[in-house]
Amino acid sequence: MPLPASAVDDPGPGLKGLSRDEALRLGENMYRNGVLPSGELMQSVVKGDIVDESGNLTCMSCHLRSGFGTTEGRVRTPPIDGKRLYSPLSKFKGIPLTKRSPQPESQDYYRPAYTDETLAGAIRTGDDPSGRKIDDIMPIYLLSDRDTEILVYYLKKLSTQPQPGITENTLRFATVIADDVAKEDREAMLGPLQGFIKNWRIPKMMERAMRAKAHLKEGTSQGLRSLSLSVWELKGPAETWRKQLEDYYAKDPVFALLGGITKSEWAPTHRFCEDHKMPAIFPITDFPVISETDWFTLYLSKGPYQEGEAAAKYVNSRDDLSQNMSVVQVFRKDRAGLVLSKAFQETWMGLGHAASL
């Protein structure tokens, strides 16, 4: 299961001249954003001779935030989280090996565990620890010794610890319900979630595949986790919710929030999830947080903001209206109306128009 990236493990030492937190911050900026500690963009070479100076060919763009990799078509991007990089890879046609050279036209091969030195070499030359050339679709990064050291340090720490809420046998979730929600709305949201958790079972075909991959015998449950769902009820004004969420999380750490519902703003829960790097899937709220940079909450819609945004784009698309016209907004001065008005204004000005009246 892909987990959110976490470069937080044991509080070990940093690099020479850098604290642990600062080294991780700089490494994360390189990994995710392609920005060097100097503030300049990372340069790389792909396919042997194509130079990229844009910083767009980041590690994250292929290996994902978690470092767990992905597959697209026939291109497999392997995991590069710390645990896997610093462990040997030794499979050929599913048979564990001690040592074996790459076979013709085969992507299965023996690879020794990386060390700091060989990982630095792979980043800068494209060679793995066995001397095998990595697929040339992977960029070779033009980094100084110091910048390479920082990136290696970050990769070594990447996703090395299990996320909170994951035990050997259980994957723990929670849902959030504010006390401003009507009973029938609460039940409509909570019922399907609880039913899914209660009736969860791994399909037989998937279970057999998981057992085979993990070399598990029938009757064992290791790696085949059950699900649990806690209900976190938030009471009182929204400004008190953060403490309530922290108290729930301290007593009952979970991997992610599923659903959730409030008639008020979702911002306190959104920020809580960002700070804890916790996924939150499809909360029901008319007032989501609109952000181009936040990562962990996936909303069903933008609520009233989306209506204001759509209205601005529609008016802008009208060929029969003057591009220099003045726009007067008329809206109800309640929470939804203010959000809608703000969305129209931001979108309208973003399209190159003067502010509406």
Work out the average pLDDT over 114-118. 95
> What is the rounded distance in angstroms from the CA atom of residue 64 to the CA atom of residue 54?
19
> Is it true that domain 170-298 has CATH number 3.40.50.2300?
yes
324 contacts 315 by C-beta, under 8 angstroms? no
Predicted local distance difference test score (pLDDT) of residue 151 = 96
Extended beta strands in 192-321, E state: 226-234, 256-258, 280-281, 297-298
DSSP output for 259-285 = --B-SS--HHHHHHHHHHT--EE--B-
Q: What is the mean pLDDT of residues 317-333?
A: 86
**What is the share, in percent, of the chain residues with pLDDT greater than 70?**
85
Contact of 96 with 88, CB cutoff 8 Å = no
132 vs 92, more confident:
132
For the domain with range 20-157, which CATH number is right: 3.30.70.1450, 1.10.760.10, 1.10.10.10, 2.40.50.100? 1.10.760.10
Residue 212: is its pLDDT beyond 50?
yes
CB 284 within 8 A of CB 261: yes
pLDDT of 99 > 70? The answer is no
185, 261 Cβ separation under 8 angstroms: yes
- Assess whether pLDDT exceeds 60 at residue 137: yes
Q: Reply yes or no on whether the pLDDT at 278 is more than 60.
A: yes
Of 91-105, 293-307, 320-334, give the lowest mean pLDDT range: 91-105
292-317 pLDDT, tens per residue?
Answer: 889 899 999 999 999 999 999 999 99
Is 93's pLDDT higher than 60? no
The model's confidence at residue 53, banded by pLDDT at 50, 70 and 90, is confident
| pLDDT over 90 at 209, yes or no | no
